[in-house]
Amino acid sequence: MTETAPRRAAFLDRDGTLIVDVPYNGDPERVEPVAGARAAVSRLRAAGLALAVVSNQSGIARGILTPAQVDAVNARVEALLGPLGPWLVCPHGPGDGCDCRKPRPGLVLAAAERLGVDPERCAVIGDVGADVQAARAAGARAVLVPTAVTREDEVRAAPELAGTLGEAVDLLLGAP
């Protein structure tokens, strides 16, 4: 029997969405999932959505973090939350002009391609406007889960808002 590609996918931002944002964190021991993250991710898996993480990590370009430190933090996230699919990380700084750094769509498009899912069948859940902009530029659905660092203009511009990661999953799964 031939396996078919997943029909839908959810792409998750890491810092501030899956885990509490610790700026430029290179220490796996400092990883703390946001409230309800494990249950929310489990619900996405149970519903059959393919998963990926799309994360800007400019600390690499700034010389604050090594790729190995980012990988170690990502591994800790998966140890706490379970498998999250491919990890797509932009190691560039804001002025590097790459296509992968959110708000550009490169990470979202690459995740969709890796999973074999049309971007229109994907959703991005994130905590800042760059996550929303990347999703929209790629043709994907965007759900913003504001945190203390989310600017008010980003909240106003978001096509969909959720108070928590669990509520964002409710939106994706069509729960009341």
Between strands 50-56 and 87-90, the pairing is parallel
Structure confidence at residue 143 (pLDDT): 98
Q: Determine the average pLDDT of the residues in 67-75.
A: 98
Count, residues in the chain: 176
125 CB contacts (<8 Å, ≥6 apart)?
10, 11, 12, 13, 17, 131, 143, 145, 162, 165, 168, 169, 172
Query: Comparing 6 with 13, which gets the higher pLDDT?
Result: 13
Contact 130, 104 (CB under 8 A): no
What was the pLDDT predicted at 7?
82
Tokens coding 136: 């929209």
Residue 176: band (very low, low, confident or very high) from pLDDT cuts 50, 70, 90: low
pLDDT over 70 at 3, yes or no: no
pLDDT, tens digit, for every residue of 36-51? 999 999 999 999 999 9
Looking at residue 5, its pLDDT comes to: 44
Amino acid, single-letter form, for residue 175: A
Query: Under a CB-based contact definition with an 8 Å cutoff, are residues 57 and 70 in contact?
Result: yes
Q: What is the DSSP letter of 100?
A: S
Domains, the chain: 9-173 (3.40.50.1000)
Amino acid at 87: W
Average pLDDT over residues 24-47: 98
Catalytic residues: 13, 15
pLDDT at 6 over 90: no
